[in-house]
Structure 1
């Protein structure tokens, strides 16, 4: 059965394209589970963001001048049989729109980081650092589920795929000097020309890459000024490989919008400018995490100081490295997959949704209990249970890893764990342990399916020892196939939009 989602979001020169881009990331993640998505949007969205037209999702123009209830009624007329999910990502919409969707949408998800108005929703997604459930209490129904923080940042898959290459590049800072300048597709404040002039005045002479929408007001200005600048400059329009551009840069000067978490996921240090009030909270939180430097608000910006800040960072490799690591720990680029799993989780034999969450220090005691349960390590390479001191030493080391692929399996309480370890030959090995009290219920198979969707771009491998029939069964049911004998099994990456990891909501 195919499930239908409708995304109500807009892009325009005034508001930029961030809302649509993050909705595209979530729609693509849902497509991997077999969903279909429609974008109910304003007429200007496709001009500001050509990516929406190239996404393969259905696009329908809604009358944005109508009331909130009238917009909901217009969408309802498209789907006489109703839909599985209505997603609202729009600062101009609130409980009036969502309440009008109750009769035809099975579930309603709101994406919002402002916490400044009431919503009638089943799930509240605040995909930026600094947002907490308590910020929304009293503004959403009591039974609302919360998905908050940078771990739910809605980034395109290209950012997770580029992390290893980006980390390798960040490890060598000897030739740091390439700057990326990007103030969004619309650049509504026309910041880009001002920043380029400030860099020239500060004596900067290394290459600069500028990314701006072809329809932005500043685009024509950049074409005229580029030949007069004292450094090499590339002006790119409507790029679809932002991760590659960020990986190639040493620092960025950007608006404090949704692209900050894209940069953080790739360890790209940023000098950020607040160009809209809704960026204040996110910018402050990412600055506090040590991944960016805030240069100030656009309307009171000291441009020479901004240029000095950027050039100062380029001369300080140790600070750049620290900022890179802080950013990569803050955001791993898998938030869209996590959100899609929360919306449409794999299910055990009883139909219960099975989730994965990143392990934290507070799970140390629970992990130790599982590791020391009699018989739990029978099929492991090292069957001896660790002492408490050995376990805690391993736990501390594990939590220091930038890419911590260790997840607690929840049903909804913790019932086990699944982990992924990089191997010397470049493969990624999966291992899983389920509490014996929950064995034989399909939990392990559902957890492996969830992991497949969380890491869609990686080929995953597992070694299953002869005689371990239970593990062989759950891996086979999760889609793993034998890989050359000797007990190794393999799960291939999910093709974008293939629906290979289908689940039911």
Structure 2
């Protein structure tokens, strides 16, 4: 039984879609299922990740790639590619904002089932599974077919494997109390590519904080802004963590992480690390709405409209020791890091039952 993932990653859309698909693929592989990635990206970092994984990947040439207006042609090209590899597909998992119903209808000729990773909250019909970690309530999907299986809420957040066997939060209460207003370890994690260079803007504001605040910048070599930033901020208070293979361990040593309201947020929550949230793309508003129902004052604003005074004022509230402790407990209640395992077991069971009929 083969499961195909249709996702992409690049400097514009970031790497989040790919990484959460890879987490689910790894969990499905552990359930005895083969996974294949259908990609239209030239990112070297993505190819490296797949080469060391147990998963096959297939690429389309540049002139055949999806541009939003060629749904039919693109789907037909993928059918040809899957035919070349003699793939018998039990399930295609789609994590791509440009793919429309027409594409799915055509591709289903070569797949028994379809699944959509749907953090936009869009209503999809004629799909077999919908994943939506930003939604708690089935009522939001009341208009779809009753035969569609829903995987809803942060308990299905698809985190990297290292967060499934996570280190403990290294931030001890007595350490916080030494600095009752400001934390000692802050992390900036604005995604793998950070196209607007929000990291440097925030860093220029954060260095005005007292000397007891140590700042860690988490990013990747795909972020073109990192090399000049490292040269500019040659400072013992600022540490750059680039292409780390131990992200969970690095994150566990922080008191607060400033991040976009995407997958890194869920990963931090699974460690019990409070987050100060920034909206870096439109689909993140649903995560922000869900989180701020229980976590007050954690949303800093949109990356394009932030100002230094407002940013630092809101951050001082979040980083207060009492607030940090409360937010840490709330974070752990929201996300336990086992979402990929949970989703893989559900999917493997459903596929197995169908094949036994």
**Distance change in 2, residues 1:47/1:161 (3 Å):** closer
Q: 2:251 matched to which residue of 1?
A: 246
Distance 1:147 1:292 in 2: 28
Q: Which has the larger radius of gyration?
A: 1
CA distance 1:269–1:81, change in 2 (3 Å): closer
CA distance in 1, matches of 2:356, 2:221: 40
Provide the alpha-carbon RMSD of the alignment.
2.6
- Partner residue in 2 for 1:72: 75
Q: What is the TM-score with the length of structure 2 in the denominator?
A: 0.88
Contact between 1:50 and 1:238, CA under 8 Å: does it hold in 2? Answer: no
Supply the distance in 2 between the matched residues of 1:4 and 1:94 (Cα, whole angstroms).
23
Question: How much does 1:326 deviate?
Answer: 0.3
Are residues 1:102 and 2:108 paired?
yes
Find the aligned partners of 1:92 and 1:346 in 2 and give their Cα distance. 27
Instruction: For 1:173-322, list aligned pairs within 5 A.
Output: 173-174=176-177, 176-227=183-234, 229=235, 232-290=237-295, 293-314=298-319, 316-322=320-326
The question of 1:324 aligning with 2:328 is answered: yes
- What TM-score does the superposition give when structure 1 sets the normalisation length? 0.63
Residue 267 of structure 1: CA displacement? 0.8
> For the structure 1 residues 208 and 298, does the alpha-carbon distance in structure 2 shift closer, same or farther, using more than 3 Å as the test?
same
Distance 2:14 2:322 in 1: 34
- Counterpart CA distance in 1 for 2:152 and 2:66 is 31
Alignment check: 8 A CA contact 2:276 2:315 kept = yes
Contact in 2 for aligned 1:289/1:330 (Cα 8 Å): no
CA contact 2:297–2:318 (8 Å) conserved in 1: no
Per-residue CA shift, 1:429-480, capped at 9, x if unaligned?
xxxxxxxxxxxxxxxxxxxxxxxxxxxxxxxxxxxxxxxxxxxxxxxxxxxx
- Aligned counterpart, 1:404: none
Contact 2:300 2:315 in 1 (8 A): no
What CA deviation, in whole Å up to 9, does each residue of 1:89-130 have, x standing for no partner? 0111121121112221111111012133645311111122x3
Partner of 1:441: none
Counterpart residue number, 1:20: 18
Superposed, which structure 2 residues align to 1:482-501 within 5 Å? none
Question: 2:297 and 2:150 mapped to 1: Cα distance?
Answer: 26
Correspondence for 1:152: 156
Q: Secondary structure of the residue that 1:101 maps to in structure 2? A: helix
Does residue 35 of structure 1 match 2:42?
no
Alpha-carbon distance change, 312 to 320 in structure 1, aligned in 2, over 3 angstroms:
same
CA distance in 2, matches of 1:30, 1:48: 19
Alignment partner, residue 93 of structure 2: 87
The secondary structure found in structure 2 opposite 1:143 is: coil
Structure 2 distance, partners of 1:30, 1:333, is 16
SS in 1 for 2:233: helix
Is the Cα–Cα contact under 8 Å of residues 276 and 318 in structure 2 kept in the other structure?
Answer: no
Change (3 A) 1:75 1:211: same
Give the superposition deviation at 1:323.
0.4
- 1:162 is displaced (CA, Å) by 1.4
User: Is the 1:264–1:331 contact (alpha carbons within 8 Å) kept by the matching residues of 2?
Assistant: yes
Higher relative contact order (CA 8 A, sep 6+): 2
Q: CA deviation at 1:215?
A: 2.2
Return 5+ residue gaps in structure 2 as ranges: none
CA–CA separation in structure 2 for the residues paired with 1:248 and 1:114: 32
- Residues 287 and 299 of structure 1, relative CA distance in 2, 3 Å threshold: same
Whether contact under 8 Å (1:274, 1:298) holds in the other structure is yes
1:40 alignment partner, SS class: strand
* Alpha carbons 2:277, 2:300 under 8 Å: kept: yes
